[in-house]
Amino acid sequence: MFVRLFSFYKKVTMILNPRQRRLLDAVRQQLTVSVEELAQQLGVTPQTVRRDVKQMEEARLLARYHGGVGLPSSVENIDYSQRQVFNSEAKRRIAGAVAQQVPHGCSLLINIGTTTEEVARALGQHAGLHVVTNNLNVAAILADNPGCEVIVAGGVVRGRDRGIVGEATIDFIRQFKVDIGIIGISSIDEDGSLRDFDAREVRVAQAIIEQSREVWLVADQHKFGRKALVRLADLAQVDMLFTDAPPPPRFARVLRDAAVKVVVAA
């Protein structure tokens, strides 16, 4: 029994090769697809696809269902260490695009997330910043910038990602009104809703939106159409979206209707 439980809960960190990234993209676009179809699209054997799918299922990036391969349940996010390495180059490009737009001397609110951590790294040379964050990783990164004042929210620290959440965090954030709130999320749904997995994290992000004169969303292309459980906000509450590829047509229409300026990182 112990062995089975250990196997179920163990964390697997996986760095995807180019074929596996294409496989994941195909599943995200089609939601459920057979092994044979994937093999045809990728130009490999079904055995290769099955081997890749098995590894990606262990990493909780994919799930096997009757009739094909799909995305895992929307109830739980993948492990934080996996998210740190997944699509990391795209996140760095997004962060660079954000840094080009952030003026020196402004005030920021930055939430939990691997992409927002990359944004913090990209702001390493900015001067006169005042940053309020509930992300200890962001705080540690920006603390190395002598031209940046870092203010850390109080609350409960989550060991898995060093995010700070809870009622005390929300009350703390509501003391501030900043120029720009920079938020990361887990999902952009087709109806224009922004979603995440943790209700406590969502409530903090909602407070950040309320206390920001402008809201900038950072999200790589894999967030489009991904399923997550908890509604955070609507695209209409966002001023700018920074991403790494042009949004799919159905999302481009939603973004246009919501008057969101889209910046595609080069």
At 131-176, the pLDDT tens digits run 999 999 999 999 999 999 999 999 999 877 889 999 999 999 999 9
pTM attached to this predicted model: 0.72
pLDDT band at 183 (very low <50, low <70, confident <90, very high): very high
222 contacts 187 by C-beta, under 8 angstroms: no
- Residue 79 main-chain phi, psi, to 5 deg: -60, 145
DSSP 200-265: HHHHHHHHHHHTEEEEEEE--GGGBT---SEEEEEGGG-SEEEESSPPPHHHHHHHHHTT-EEEE-
Give the pLDDT confidence of 126-143 residue by residue, as tens digits: 999 999 999 999 999 999
Helices (H) and strands (E) in the chain, counts: 11, 15
- The closest alpha carbon to 232, from 182, 196, 181, 180, belongs to 196
Long-range contacts of 54-57 (CB under 8 A, 24+ apart): 55/14, 55/20, 56/14, 56/16, 56/20, 56/23, 56/24
Polymer length in residues for the chain: 266
Give the pLDDT confidence of 65-92 residue by residue, as tens digits: 766 787 765 544 555 545 544 567 889 9
